């Protein structure tokens, strides 16, 4: 039996208890907070990648004349999917923070269509994870946005309050 | 986007104008659970959203000064997250590095209680085009 680690924070304890299950993790994280506000949901995952999505909504629009979504929610979706791709690849939760994230807006997302993002962790190092992702609105070969970023693995004690 | 008007996403997130500094509008957003990422901290996407709105606002203000009525479309954004975003008010302000005929380059910084300790910074490139009649 595992000895309980009293220094472990609640999220780490949660992660250890459930293992890293991308579907359950998404459901848990999206009950509240920013991901919950955007309405992110689990779509699919593989060994080093995960796909999440959210529905078009009038209050997420950036251009009221066209109904095109703001890019903010797309940043959030790519931040979440790239971040979770690291845990998917590691098959474990580990505290990490976004070092940088670059996003190219290839085209405007089609109004009223849900947006999806598929992201992968293409290299995992001891202190850094390298990620990339594609956002689309139904056809991944016709992307809406392309992302590349780096996450820094950090000490769990600093990760949550 | 006009330099004095926020899109639905920005209003839904609770962003607002907080004055003008050296010609660029300052965008502010109070902390709320809808902006929370990992427990107790701002979500990186919410910080990115504030940066982008400040970038749009700075560029819109610059184009209005030039008397140019152009359509603004973001081409890309590259964000560096410098410090953890705390559960408190966040501010962002953009600086137009160059606004040409087809492209504009903008740098944006976000901070919280101490302006000399930025939370995140980014550059954005925008495509400029004539408004459709």
For chain A, what is the radius of gyration of the CA atoms?
A: 16
DSSP string, A26-94: HHHHTTSHHHHHHT-EEEEE-SSEEEEEE---GGGEEETTTTEEPHHHHHHHHHHHHHHHHHHHHTS--
User: Which CATH number applies to B8-130?
Assistant: 3.10.129.10
Please indicate, yes or no, if residue A65 is contained in any of the structural domains: yes
ipTM for the assembly: 0.94
User: pLDDT tens digits for A89-140?
Assistant: 999 988 999 999 999 999 999 999 999 999 999 999 999 999 999 999 999 9
For A42, the domain range is 10-159
List all residues of chain B from 20 to 79 with a beta carbon under 8 Å from chain A. Answer: 33-41, 43-46, 48-49, 52-53, 73-79
User: pLDDT tens digits for B65-82?
Assistant: 999 999 999 999 999 999
Nearest to B27 by CA among B62, B2, B57, B7: B57
Residue A148: give its domain's CATH number.
3.10.129.10
Task: Categorize the per-residue pLDDT at B1 as very low, low, confident or very high, splitting at 50, 70 and 90.
Answer: low
Domain total of chain A = 1
Domain boundaries of chain B, sorted by first residue: 8-130
pLDDT over 70, % of chain A = 87
Q: What angle in degrees, to the nearest 10, is found between the helix axes of A71-90 and A22-29?
A: 140
> Which residues of chain B have a CB within 8 Å of the CB of A152?
none
**Helix/strand/coil for B100:** coil
Check if B90 contacts A (Cβ < 8 Å).
no
Please indicate, yes or no, if residue A5 is contained in any of the structural domains: no
> Which residues of chain A have a CB within 8 Å of the CB of B75?
104-105
Label residue B81 exposed, middle or buried (CB < 10 Å: 0-12, 13-18, 19+).
buried
**Cα–Cα distance measured from residue B64 to residue A50, given in angstroms and rounded to the nearest whole number:** 43
For β-strands A68-69 and A61-63, DSSP reports them as antiparallel
**Helix/strand/coil for B49:** helix
Nearest CA in chain B to A57: B9
Q: The whole model's pTM is what?
A: 0.92
Please indicate, yes or no, if residue A4 is contained in any of the structural domains: no
Is 50 exceeded by the pLDDT of residue A1? no
């Amino acid at each position: 039996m595992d000895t309980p680690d009293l220094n472990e924070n609640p999220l780490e304890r949660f992660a250890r208890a459930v293992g890293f299950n991308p579907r359950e993790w998404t459901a848990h994280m999206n009950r509240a907070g920013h991901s919950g506000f955007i309405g992110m949901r689990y779509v699919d995952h593989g060994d080093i990648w995960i796909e999440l999505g959210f529905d078009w909504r009038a209050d997420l629009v950036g251009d009221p004349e066209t109904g095109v979504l703001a890019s903010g929610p797309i940043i959030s979706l790519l931040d979440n999917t790239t971040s979770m791709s690291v845990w998917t690849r590691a098959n474990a939760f580990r505290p990490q923070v976004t070092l940088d994230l670059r996003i190219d807006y290839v085209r405007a997302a089609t109004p009223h269509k849900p947006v999806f993002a598929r992201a992968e962790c293409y290299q995992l190092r001891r202190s850094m994870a390298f990620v990339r992702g594609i956002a689309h609105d139904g056809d991944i070969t016709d992307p809406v946005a392309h992302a590349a970023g780096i996450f820094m693995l950090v000490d769990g004690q600093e990760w949550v309050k | 986007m006009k330099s004095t008007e926020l899109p639905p996403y920005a209003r839904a997130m609770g962003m607002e104008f907080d004055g003008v500094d050296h010609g660029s509008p300052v965008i502010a957003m109070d902390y709320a659970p809808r902006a929370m990422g990992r427990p107790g901290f701002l979500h990186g996407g919410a910080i990115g959203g504030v940066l982008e709105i400040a970038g749009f606002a700075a560029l819109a203000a610059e184009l209005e000064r030039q008397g140019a009525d152009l359509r603004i479309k973001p081409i890309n954004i590259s964000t560096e997250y410098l410090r953890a975003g705390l559960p408190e008010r966040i501010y962002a302000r953009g600086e137009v590095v160059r606004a040409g005929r087809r492209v504009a380059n903008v740098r944006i910084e976000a901070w919280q209680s101490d302006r000399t300790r930025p939370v995140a910074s980014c550059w954005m490139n925008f495509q400029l085009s004539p408004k459709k009649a």
